[in-house]
Amino acid sequence: MSEAQIKSLEKQFDDRIARDEKIEPKDWMPEKYRKTHIRQMSQHAHSEIVGMLPEGNWITRAPSLRRKVALLAKVQDEAGHGLYLYSATETLGISREEMYEQLHTGKAKYSSIFNYPTVTWADMGAIGWLVDGAAIINQVPLCNTSYGPYARAMIRVCKEESFHQRQGFEIMLKLANGTPEQKEMAQDALNRWWWPSLMMLGPTDDVSTHTEQSMKWKLKRKSNDDLRQQFIDQTVPQAELLGLTIPDKDLKWNESRQSYDFGEIDWDEFWQVVKGHGPMNKVRMKARVDAWEKGAWVRDAAMAHAEKKRNKKQKQAV
Amino acid sequence: MKNKNLYNYILGIADNSLILGQRLGELTGHGPSLETDIACTNISLDLFGQVRSYYQYAAKIAGDDRTEDDIAMLRKEREYFNVLLVEQPNTNFAYTIVRQFLFDVYHYLFLTELQKSHDVTLVAIAKKSIKEVSYHKRFSTDWLKRLGDGTTESKQKTQQAVNDLWTYTEELFYTTQADNAMISEGIAVDVTKFKANYYQNVNAVLTEATLDIPESKFFQKGGKQGIHTEHLGYLLSDLQYMQRTYPNMEW
Ligand SMILES: [Fe+2]
Ligand SMILES: [Fe+2]
Ligand SMILES: [Fe+2]
pLDDT in tens, A176-191: 999 999 999 999 999 9
A76 Cα–ligand 1 center, Å: 9
Determine the residue of chain A that is closest to B97 in CA distance: A298
Determine the residue of chain A that is closest to B241 in CA distance: A61
Binary contact (A305, B52; C-beta < 8 A): no
- In angstroms, the separation between the Cα of residue A144 and the nearest Cα of chain B is 27
Q: Does the structure's ipTM exceed the value 0.85?
A: yes
Minimal Cβ distance to A65: which of B52, B146, B151:
B52
**Among A53, A64, A66, A300, the residue to mutate for chain B (most B Cβ within 10 A):** A64
- Which residues in chain A touch residue B14, judged by CB atoms under 8 angstroms apart? none
Residue B33 lies in a domain: yes
- Which residues in chain B touch residue A80, judged by CB atoms under 8 angstroms apart? 38
Compute CA distances B220 → A23, A158, B141, whole Å: 62, 49, 24
The 10 Å Cβ neighbour count of residue A233 is 15
B182 Cα–ligand 2 center, Å: 50
Which residues place a Cβ less than 5 A from the ion ligand 3?
Answer: A 132, 161, 164
Distance in Å from the first CA to the final CA of chain A? 47
Residue B218 lies in a domain: no
In this predicted structure, what is the pLDDT of residue A286? 98
Range of the domain at B21: 4-212+223-245
- Which residues in chain B touch residue A79, judged by CB atoms under 8 angstroms apart? 28-29, 34, 37-38, 41
Q: Work out whether the CA dihedral B81, B84, B90, B96 comes out positive or negative.
A: negative
CATH of the domain at B130: 1.20.1260.10
Residue B136 lies in a domain: yes
Q: Which residues of chain A have pLDDT under 50?
A: none
Q: How far is residue B103's CA from residue B96's CA, in Å, rounded to a whole number?
A: 11
The 10 Å Cβ neighbour count of residue A223 is 16
- In angstroms, the separation between the Cα of residue B132 and the nearest Cα of chain A is 15
Q: Cα angle vertex A291, ends A285, A296, to 5°?
A: 130
Minimal Cβ distance to A75: which of B41, B149, B243:
B41
Minimal Cβ distance to B38: which of A80, A295, A306:
A80
In this predicted structure, what is the pLDDT of residue A318? 73
Q: How far is residue A154's CA from residue A140's CA, in Å, rounded to a whole number?
A: 8
Give the residue among B86, B92, B74 at the shortest CA–CA distance from B236.
Answer: B74
In this predicted structure, what is the pLDDT of residue B57? 98
**Among A59, A74, A97, A160, the residue to mutate for chain B (most B Cβ within 10 A):** A59
Residue B250 lies in a domain: no
Q: Which residues of chain B have pLDDT under 70?
A: none
Residue B217 lies in a domain: no
Q: Quick one: which H or E segment has residue B157?
A: helix B152-165
User: Tens of pLDDT along A8-67?
Assistant: 999 999 999 999 999 999 999 999 999 999 999 999 999 999 999 999 999 999 999 999
- Which residues in chain A touch residue B52, judged by CB atoms under 8 angstroms apart? 65-66, 69
* Helix pair B34-62, B4-25: axis angle to 10 deg: 160
- In angstroms, the separation between the Cα of residue A84 and the nearest Cα of chain B is 11
Minimal Cβ distance to B48: which of A68, A82, A121:
A68
In the chain, the amino acid numbered A116 is: Y
Minimal Cβ distance to A304: which of B29, B45, B151:
B151
- In angstroms, the separation between the Cα of residue A306 and the nearest Cα of chain B is 8
- Which residues in chain B touch residue A53, judged by CB atoms under 8 angstroms apart? 29
B242 Cα–ligand 3 center, Å: 23
Q: How far is residue A30's CA from residue A79's CA, in Å, rounded to a whole number?
A: 31
Residue B91 lies in a domain: yes
Residue B12 lies in a domain: yes
Determine the residue of chain B that is closest to A76 in CA distance: B38
Determine the residue of chain B that is closest to A185 in CA distance: B246
Q: What is the DSSP letter of B211?
A: P
- In angstroms, the separation between the Cα of residue B203 and the nearest Cα of chain A is 20
B237 Cα–ligand 3 center, Å: 28
In this predicted structure, what is the pLDDT of residue A21? 96
**Among A46, A68, A175, the residue to mutate for chain B (most B Cβ within 10 A):** A68
The 10 Å Cβ neighbour count of residue A205 is 12
Domains in chain B, number: 1
Residue B251 lies in a domain: no
- In angstroms, the separation between the Cα of residue B169 and the nearest Cα of chain A is 24
A224 Cα–ligand 3 center, Å: 20
